[in-house]
Amino acid sequence: MKKALIKDTIKEIKNTHRRFISILLMAFLGVGFFAGIRASSPDMLDTIDKYFKDENVYDIEVVSTLGLTNEDIDELKKVDGVKDVYGTYAKDALIEVADTEAVAKIMCVEEVNKPSVVEGRLPENNNECVVEELFLKSTGKKIGDKITIEIEDTTDDNGDKISYLKEKEVEIVGTAKTPIYISRDKGTSKLGAGKVNYYIYINEENINAKDIYTEIYINTEDGNKYKTSTQEYEDYIAKIKENIEDIKNSREQARHDMLVEKAQEKLDEAQKTFDEQKADAEAQIAEAQKQIDDGKAELEKGEAEINKNRQKANSEFAQAQKQIDNAKSQIQSGESELNAKETEANEQMQSAQNSKAEIQSNLNMARDALAQVNANYNLINQQLKNLEGMQDAQSAKQRAELEQTRTVLENKKRELEENIAKAEAGITQIEQSIQNGKAELENAKQTLQNSKSQITAQENTLKKTKIDAYAKIQDAQTTLNIAKSELANGEAELEEKRQEVDEKLNDAEKELIDARDKIAQIENATWYILDRNTNQGYTSFIQDTKSVESIGVVFPIVFFVIATLISLTSMTRMVEEERTQIGTLKALGYTKIQVASKYLIYALSACLIGGTIGMFVGCNLLPRVIWMMYSMMYSIDIFVVKFNVIYSLIGLAAASICVVGATLYAVLKELKETPAILMRPKAPKNGKRVLLEKVPFIWKHLSFTRKVTVRNLFRYKKRFLMTIIGILGCTALIITGFGLKDSITAIIPNQFEKVFKYDMQISLKANLEEEQKNDLITELKDKNEIKDIVETNITAGNLINGNKEEEVQIIVPKDTNELENVISLNDRKSKENVKLNDNEIMITDKLAQLTGTKVGDTIKIKDSDDKTKEFKVSNIVENYVGHYVYMSKNLYEKNYEKYETNVLYVDDEDISQEQEDLLVKEIVDKNEISSVSPTSTVMSMIDDMMNSLNYVVIILIVSAGMLAFVVLYNLSNVNISERIRELATIKVLGFYDKEVYNYISRETIILTLIGIVLGCIAGYYLNVFILGTCEINALRFAKIVNPMSYVYSILITIIFTIIVNIVTYFSLKKIDMIESLKSVE
């Protein structure tokens, strides 16, 4: 390329920088949007892939109905392709905080599915735990606070109840995120309101019920070599799963056998203990019996002895008594003899006494006489004495007289004294004889007395001996009696004990029998070999990457097409403008390629610069924006933004090809002309009458300016089309954005209000007795909150039509008529209610679509045992979520086993959410019920998921708006530039700015209106198309666009149009008439 040309090109870019920028901008938008949106889905995938690899997330999960053991782990380790096997524990618990009860999934910190610490640290001790941030936020707890984990006791392998945890009260030591639950939704639980609210990590050591794992997580050897969710990954995992499937049966059997063995062992031991105990008890009873018997014999012996003793004592005592009686009678006779003697002695003594008394009285007389004599004597003595001193004769006569009398007296006295002595001697003699008699009697009496007292003593001794003897006998008797009653007690006790033991043994025996029964009843273990696709958070994330991908397929194309068309218009205009120069260059002898190269370089550089900026900005910005929106839904901190070289280059190349191609087309078209023609101004496009003019009725009634507008519209057909396409694209994109949301959100009410009218689905436990079920249903029906209950049987199966196969749920109502109360069976086409008959089945519409089934077709249904049966389809019914087959009870029983209710559909009365929560809480605890899922919960769960769609809508609206703006602005510029002379002319003619603007904008408005109308139609179909491409297998989108969405879309488009028109208004005002009308160069 010549220097001059290069210079010219650079100058050209400078001079027409607006055009250059507008092409650049189109390339920027086109490539940026294409690369950015396209890169978003892979970036999201890369992110989850990196996150899962970083946190060492499992590839395969194994759960079993009977728990898993270390042996299982060992066996799994041997499976081909399995690298690491981790057994772990997870269980739902109730956490009570601030008067509310929440359900938490209690998990253990493991090497697999590592939780990442957000704050604080991981638990190190048994009394520690980490929670998710949400928990702290919604409960107001802080790190350092304690919570109590209420967890149901678990049964160990021996069948004993043991506490699941060692420490129930744990301290929060940090917050963490887990790759297991990346979305807010954590699945269902049998506890509380039936939903897992939080997850909590504890130390594995805190698990008391060790070694019976609830889950086994497996990392495969090569799983990390593939990107998660890719086909390669899925295929690889499927292969490993198959390998595991190979040991499944044996492990299931082993687990069952192990439990049986343990139970048998325990039973045997119990039997042994029972037998031993029985023998023991029997021996004890026998011993006791023997003792009693011995006691009895002894008692009898004792009694005999006592009797003997008593008899002996009796006879001995009788003899002794007799002797005593003899002695007594002897004494009696002695006594009477003595008495006689005494009487005799007393008589003798009386006479002696009498003689004594006679003597005594003589004596006394003598004594009196003596006393008289003595007194006289003493008187004489006294007188004498008195005379002694007086020597007088009288005194001497007197004295002698006295002396005489005194001698007489002295004689008399001597006589008397002799008499007295004699009397006294007689008294003494009598007294002596009385004394003797008395002594003799006394002696006799004494002797008698002696013998009497001897007898008495003897008698007393006898009496005492007798009493003693009898007392002893009595004592012996008493002791014997006590022993007797004791023995009787003992006997009664023994009897009682015997009964007791019998009872106990009976009970024990019964228990043994029960235990035996239980062993027989130990279910077979069932292994579920799962992969990441059963992790709700992961699946919904992958699903979201898919929808982003789907958007990435269609939208950038719309963008691209429009951007290319606009660039084409711009470049064509440029070439046309430079026609003269092209002619000159050609005339000067430049080759076609050289001439064209300027424009190609111009276009290409704009395209490359714009595109390059676009791909960098797009690849970095759009995935981030999209991620920002999705990250609100998922708790993943990292985000991997990779510069997506392939998509970027594809976008850049495509944009370059389109723009350069368009330029080349425009240039070559011009270059075909000879220089002479080129150098002359291009004859302006000829005016032409439009078809409408041939309809004078309308044409005549149009004002002049309208006519002009109409004619102009048809004159610039390319621009006309471009504008319409631009507006159409914009409107369509916005409508699609809204429509996507409308369609997807409509699923919920469609499915859960229109089709599923029930409020609650209750799954019953397997193996319930008919009676239990009926009791439960009656009980539930009696509840005030419950209006109606419909019994159904739901089983899983596969519907096969030709080579197409889909998983389905087969719903068999107990009573076909009742089903209507909870599920509407409406024909897909006629929308009319249809009824099940006994020969045919009904299937849901999406299922019919996926399997290509039509009414009247015969399809096959494969049940879980891989048995297939053929059925004819009577109707295809409306449905939005999941795949269902409806079958009447009779048809079911004809083909399968007897009908058995396993799911209850519950229709509530009009109750509030709180009431419903309470009801759920109340019935979820029932033994017969395995799970309760209220429709409201399911709805809010899906609703949460749908919220992410708002972001999609925003992205679409913003990008569509940008597109619309650029398109309209560009077209408006082209329009002005193309018609600058015309515009300058009318300005010269004196059109006011507004009139000039109207002159142009009338066209724009009409084009915009046409664009909007067509856009609404296109939007509808684009929506349908996109929904079709990104529709999830199990969902049927309603493919509707709400009227309000049209209104919003139209308004948004109009707003963008207005903005562009304001810009246009000012550019029109700025048109320089003189410059524009200068003679054509």
Partner 1 sequence: MSYIEFKNVVKKYEMGEITINALNKASFQIEKGELVVIVGPSGAGKTTALNILGGMDSVTSGEVIVDNKRVDHLKSKRLIQYRREDIGFVFQFYNLVQNLTAKENVELATEICNDSLDPVKVLKKVGLKNRMDNFPAQLSGGEQQRVAIARAIAKNPKLLLCDEPTGALDYKTGKQILKLLQDTARKENMTVLIITHNAALAPMADKIISFKNGKAEDIRINKEPVSIEDIEW
- Binding-site ranges for partner 1 (CB under 8 A): 683-688, 704-705, 707-708, 711-712, 715, 981-982, 984-993, 995, 1073-1074, 1077, 1079-1080
Looking at beta carbons only, is 710 or 876 nearer to partner 1? 710
Q: How far is the CB of 1080 from partner 1 (least distance, A)?
A: 7
Q: How far is the CB of 713 from partner 1 (least distance, A)?
A: 10
Taking alpha carbons only, the member of 964, 1036, 1029 closest to residue 734 is: 964
In terms of C-beta density within 10 A (0-12 exposed, 13-18 middle, 19 or more buried), how is residue 579 classed? middle
Looking at beta carbons only, is 278 or 718 nearer to partner 1? 718
Q: How far is the CB of 699 from partner 1 (least distance, A)?
A: 12
Looking at beta carbons only, is 866 or 1081 nearer to partner 1? 1081
Tokens found for residue 529? 């070999």
Taking alpha carbons only, the member of 161, 199, 165, 194 closest to residue 179 is: 199
Contact 188, 931 (CB under 8 A): yes
Q: How far is the CB of 661 from partner 1 (least distance, A)?
A: 30
Contacting residues for 195 by C-beta, under 8 A, at least 6 apart? 103, 186, 187, 188, 189, 937
Q: In Å, what is the CA distance from 594 to each residue of 4, 6, 346, 571, 671?
A: 11, 10, 202, 17, 11
C-alpha distance across the termini of the chain, in Å? 25
Q: How far is the CB of 579 from partner 1 (least distance, A)?
A: 16
Q: How far is the CB of 693 from partner 1 (least distance, A)?
A: 10
The structure tokens 């003798």 sit at 348
Q: How far is the CB of 19 from partner 1 (least distance, A)?
A: 22
Taking alpha carbons only, the member of 986, 1003, 972, 993 closest to residue 707 is: 1003
Tokens found for residue 802? 């030709």
Angle at which helix 935-946 crosses helix 717-749, to 10 degrees, equals 150
Q: How far is the CB of 689 from partner 1 (least distance, A)?
A: 8
In terms of DSSP bridges, do strands 154-155 and 527-531 run parallel, antiparallel, or are they unpaired?
unpaired
Q: How far is the CB of 1003 from partner 1 (least distance, A)?
A: 11
Phi-psi label, residue 508: left if phi above 0, alpha if psi -120 to 50, beta otherwise: alpha
Looking at beta carbons only, is 137 or 688 nearer to partner 1? 688
In terms of DSSP bridges, do strands 100-108 and 198-202 run parallel, antiparallel, or are they unpaired?
parallel
- Within 13 Å and on the Cβ side, how many CA atoms surround 133? 12
Q: How far is the CB of 853 from partner 1 (least distance, A)?
A: 59
Tokens found for residue 618? 């797009």
Looking at beta carbons only, is 539 or 580 nearer to partner 1? 580
Q: How far is the CB of 990 from partner 1 (least distance, A)?
A: 3
Looking at beta carbons only, is 296 or 711 nearer to partner 1? 711
Helix residue ranges per DSSP H, 672-715:
675-679, 696-699, 704-715
Kind plus residue range of the DSSP H or E element containing 59: none
Looking at beta carbons only, is 642 or 994 nearer to partner 1? 994
Contacting residues for 923 by C-beta, under 8 A, at least 6 apart? 762, 780, 929, 932
Q: How far is the CB of 1020 from partner 1 (least distance, A)?
A: 35
Q: What's the per-residue H, E or C state across 892-961?
A: HHHHCCCCCCCEEEEEECCCCHHHHHHHHHHHHCCCCEEEEEEHHHHHHHHHHHHCHHHHHHHHHHHHHH
Looking at beta carbons only, is 318 or 1074 nearer to partner 1? 1074
Residue-level length of the chain: 1081
Looking at beta carbons only, is 254 or 708 nearer to partner 1? 708
Looking at beta carbons only, is 718 or 860 nearer to partner 1? 718
Q: How far is the CB of 727 from partner 1 (least distance, A)?
A: 22
Contacting residues for 1041 by C-beta, under 8 A, at least 6 apart? 735, 738, 739, 742, 743, 1019, 1020, 1023
Looking at beta carbons only, is 389 or 990 nearer to partner 1? 990
Looking at beta carbons only, is 475 or 993 nearer to partner 1? 993
Looking at beta carbons only, is 644 or 712 nearer to partner 1? 712
DSSP codes of every residue in 538-560: HHHHHHHHHHHHHHHHHHHHHHH
Contacting residues for 1052 by C-beta, under 8 A, at least 6 apart? 734, 957, 960, 961
In terms of C-beta density within 10 A (0-12 exposed, 13-18 middle, 19 or more buried), how is residue 94 classed? middle
Contact 1044, 740 (CB under 8 A): no
Q: How far is the CB of 1079 from partner 1 (least distance, A)?
A: 6
Contact 880, 755 (CB under 8 A): yes
Q: How far is the CB of 43 from partner 1 (least distance, A)?
A: 50
Rounded to an integer, what distance in angstroms lies between the CA atom of residue 931 and that of residue 1008?
56
Looking at beta carbons only, is 367 or 979 nearer to partner 1? 979
Looking at beta carbons only, is 1040 or 1073 nearer to partner 1? 1073
Rounded to an integer, what distance in angstroms lies between the CA atom of residue 935 and that of residue 938?
5
Tokens found for residue 749? 């009410």
Looking at beta carbons only, is 903 or 996 nearer to partner 1? 996
Q: How far is the CB of 685 from partner 1 (least distance, A)?
A: 6
Q: How far is the CB of 1071 from partner 1 (least distance, A)?
A: 11
Rounded to an integer, what distance in angstroms lies between the CA atom of residue 570 and that of residue 973?
9
Looking at beta carbons only, is 899 or 991 nearer to partner 1? 991
- Strand-pairing partners, residue 198, are 104
Q: How far is the CB of 583 from partner 1 (least distance, A)?
A: 18
Tokens found for residue 521? 């009843």
Phi-psi label, residue 802: left if phi above 0, alpha if psi -120 to 50, beta otherwise: left
Looking at beta carbons only, is 703 or 784 nearer to partner 1? 703
- State phi, psi for 538 to the nearest 5 degrees: -60, -50
